[in-house]
């Protein structure tokens, strides 16, 4: 079950009651929160009073009662944080609950789910305030049957889903909330404007055949929240992302924090993707992993946009060597991790032109280049900001649309910027999270970094000479004299 929920609507209370009920039927349960601090606060403030105040449950409690472990009857309720890999590997379970999923690392969730591997039941509950589209709880909701609370109008018979009827752009009219004559507000039918009773509704699934049950739970149909307060906050808030996440219960991201696919594809020109070049100055970026994703940029003249001339998915580093020969690549930046040994060997083969990139989150300002070590260090958020800016400011021209370019656009849209706040210090800072495959996005960031460090493009008298016998370097640059 998946709950994409607004704040303060009882989702966590429901989940812990489901967990205790599972224990009463003999199932071991692990309840996960993002951090250990979250677990301790939750255990002491929510779970312990709930068990102590219920005479039936109190009789079933054994001597095993700590902040992280409750024995209920013959089963156990484990309360764990997702920052510790030890806590996620220690015990098996029949049921796993992920609370505040969007605040936990995606890799930690995959590890925690393995606790169900040997169970005959394999129950899974995921709940969270949503953050970004296609990320965290929203990614799971999109895989579900997508149930929305839908209310029938007693006046005209129209069915209205308050969440789906609410506008997703600032400044639009809100047809689902209307004023009464006394100044109060009510939930309204989108057809006739009649007053709806949010209690008189039902869950309607958009994809009823799917096995995962998913629910969008919003303050719009909460009996504790005045619709007028929601309308007022929508009209006045400076933080639309938090409004949509915490009040409406849906994911949201503006274009300043995340590119969209149409915006990237709008940069397509009419030229086909190039397979090689003999003249010009080029930069290459490579993201390492199961495959090697490469992006090649042609250096721009003066204030002209850069041209992305080639995209490639390579199987090995020899393929990258061929790209270095096919294009006059003057500078290449490649992900330094996780293939450090292989990337260093690649950099050594192209000494002076290939640099390993390592992100340094404490670094401020421009990239730091170490020519001797063939290393470049840069702040990840700042580097991604710079590469996104090239798209927003239309300082990039893509080849004409084709499957590879469309994949590039999807990867560029997969990285989104979120605002984090340190609970202890209150310090806020942005970071990028991955909502899908982003290999070309990172490769483009590396290529942009490489292009920024290129010298000015060669003038009309400069040519590239392909001569693999000189210093074992396939590309040697030579400037001709007046006599040619």
Whether residues 322 and 181 fall in one domain: no
- φ, ψ for residue 134, nearest 5 deg: 65, 20
d(CA 387, CA 392): 9
User: Domain residues for 372?
Assistant: 261-477
Q: Which of 270, 271, 244, 247 lies closest to 257 in space, CA to CA?
A: 244
Q: Is residue 225 part of a domain?
A: yes
Instruction: State residue 405's pLDDT score.
Output: 97
* CATH classification at residue 437: 3.30.420.240
* CATH classification at residue 107: 3.40.50
Instruction: State residue 481's pLDDT score.
Output: 39
Q: State which of 214, 248, 282 marks the end of a domain.
A: 248
Q: What sign has the CA pseudo-torsion 417, 221, 46, 58?
A: negative
Assign 455 to helix, strand or coil.
coil
Q: Which residue is listed with tokens 């849906």?
A: 250
Whether residues 165 and 311 fall in one domain: no
Predicted confidence pLDDT, tens digits, the chain (484 residues): 999 999 999 898 899 999 999 999 999 999 988 877 777 777 777 787 887 788 887 777 765 567 778 888 889 888 888 876 655 566 889 999 999 888 887 777 778 888 888 888 999 999 999 998 888 899 999 999 999 999 999 999 999 999 999 998 888 999 999 999 999 999 999 999 999 999 999 999 999 999 999 999 999 999 899 999 999 999 999 889 899 999 999 999 877 788 989 999 999 999 999 999 988 899 999 999 999 999 999 987 777 899 999 999 999 999 999 999 999 899 999 999 887 889 999 999 999 999 999 999 888 888 999 999 999 999 999 999 999 999 999 999 999 999 999 999 999 999 988 877 766 676 778 889 888 899 999 999 999 999 987 755 444 344 443 433 333 444 444 333 333 3
Domain count, the chain: 2
Predicted TM-score of the model (pTM): 0.72
Whether residues 323 and 462 fall in one domain: yes
Tokens of 434: 């991955």
Whether residues 243 and 272 fall in one domain: no
Whether residues 90 and 47 fall in one domain: yes
244, 279 Cβ separation under 8 angstroms:
no
Q: What angle do CA 237, 242, 247 make, to 5 degrees?
A: 85
How many Å from the N-terminal Cα to the C-terminal Cα in the chain? 74
Instruction: State residue 249's pLDDT score.
Output: 95
Helical packing angle, 439-452 and 403-413, nearest 10°: 90
Instruction: State residue 64's pLDDT score.
Output: 58
d(CA 284, CA 333): 6
Whether residues 192 and 81 fall in one domain: yes
Tokens of 382: 């700042």
Whether residues 167 and 203 fall in one domain: yes
Whether residues 198 and 101 fall in one domain: yes
Whether residues 226 and 321 fall in one domain: no
Instruction: State residue 84's pLDDT score.
Output: 62
Whether residues 238 and 295 fall in one domain: no
Instruction: State residue 460's pLDDT score.
Output: 35
Instruction: State residue 347's pLDDT score.
Output: 95
Whether residues 280 and 308 fall in one domain: yes
Whether residues 183 and 307 fall in one domain: no
Q: Is residue 255 part of a domain?
A: no
Rg over alpha carbons for the chain, rounded to the nearest Å, is 28
Q: Is residue 253 part of a domain?
A: no
Q: Which of 181, 197, 208, 399 lies closest to 189 in space, CA to CA?
A: 197
């Amino acid at each position: 079950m998946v709950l994409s929920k607004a704040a303060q609507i009882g989702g966590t209370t429901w989940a812990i009651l489901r967990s205790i009920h599972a224990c009463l039927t003999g199932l071991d349960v692990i309840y996960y929160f993002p951090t250990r601090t979250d677990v301790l606060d939750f255990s002491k403030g929510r779970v312990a009073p709930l068990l102590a105040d219920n005479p039936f449950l109190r009789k079933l409690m054994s001597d095993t009662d700590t902040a992280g472990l409750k024995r209920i009857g013959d089963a156990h309720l484990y309360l764990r944080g997702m920052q510790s890999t030890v806590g996620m590997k220690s015990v098996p379970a029949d049921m796993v609950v992920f609370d505040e999923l969007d605040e936990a690392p995606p890799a930690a969730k995959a590890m925690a789910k393995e606790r169900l591997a040997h169970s005959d039941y394999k129950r899974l509950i995921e709940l969270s305030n949503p953050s970004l589209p296609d990320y965290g709880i929203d990614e799971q909701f999109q895989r579900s049957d997508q149930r929305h609370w839908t209310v029938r109008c007693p006046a005209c018979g129209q069915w209205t889903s308050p969440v789906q009827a609410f506008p997703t752009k600032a400044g639009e009219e809100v047809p689902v909330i209307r004023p009464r004559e006394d100044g109060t507000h009510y939930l309204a039918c989108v057809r006739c404007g009649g007053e709806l009773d949010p209690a008189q509704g039902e869950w309607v699934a958009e994809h009823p055949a799917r096995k995962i049950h998913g629910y969008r739970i919003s303050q719009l149909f909460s009996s504790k929240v005045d619709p007028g307060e929601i309308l007022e906050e929508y009209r006045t808030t400076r933080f639309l992302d938090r409004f949509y996440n915490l009040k409406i219960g849906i994911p949201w991201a503006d274009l300043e924090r995340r590119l969209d696919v149409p915006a990237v594809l709008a940069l397509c020109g009419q030229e086909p993707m190039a397979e090689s070049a003999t003249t010009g100055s080029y930069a290459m970026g490579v993201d390492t992993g199961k495959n090697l994703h490469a992006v090649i940029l042609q250096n721009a003249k003066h204030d002209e946009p850069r041209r992305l001339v080639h995209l490639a998915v390579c199987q090995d580093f020899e393929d990258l060597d061929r790209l270095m020969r096919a294009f006059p690549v003057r500078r290449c930046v490649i992900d330094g991790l996780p293939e450090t040994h292989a990337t260093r060997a690649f950099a050594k083969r192209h000494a002076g032109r290939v640099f390993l990139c390592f992100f340094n989150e404490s670094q401020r300002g421009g990239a730091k280049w170490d020519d001797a070590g063939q290393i470049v260090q840069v702040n990840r958020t700042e580097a991604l900001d710079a590469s996104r800016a090239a798209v927003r400011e239309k300082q990039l021209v893509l080849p004409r649309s084709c499957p590879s370019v469309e994949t590039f656009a999807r990867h560029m849209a997969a990285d989104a910027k979120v605002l984090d706040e340190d609970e202890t210090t209150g310090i806020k800072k942005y970071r990028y999270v991955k909502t899908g495959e982003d290999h070309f996005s990172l490769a483009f960031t590396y290529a942009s970094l490489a292009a920024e460090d290129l010298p000015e493009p060669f003038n009309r008298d400069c040519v590239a000479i392909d001569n693999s016998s000189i210093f074992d370097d396939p590309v040697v640059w030579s400037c001709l004299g007046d006599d040619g």
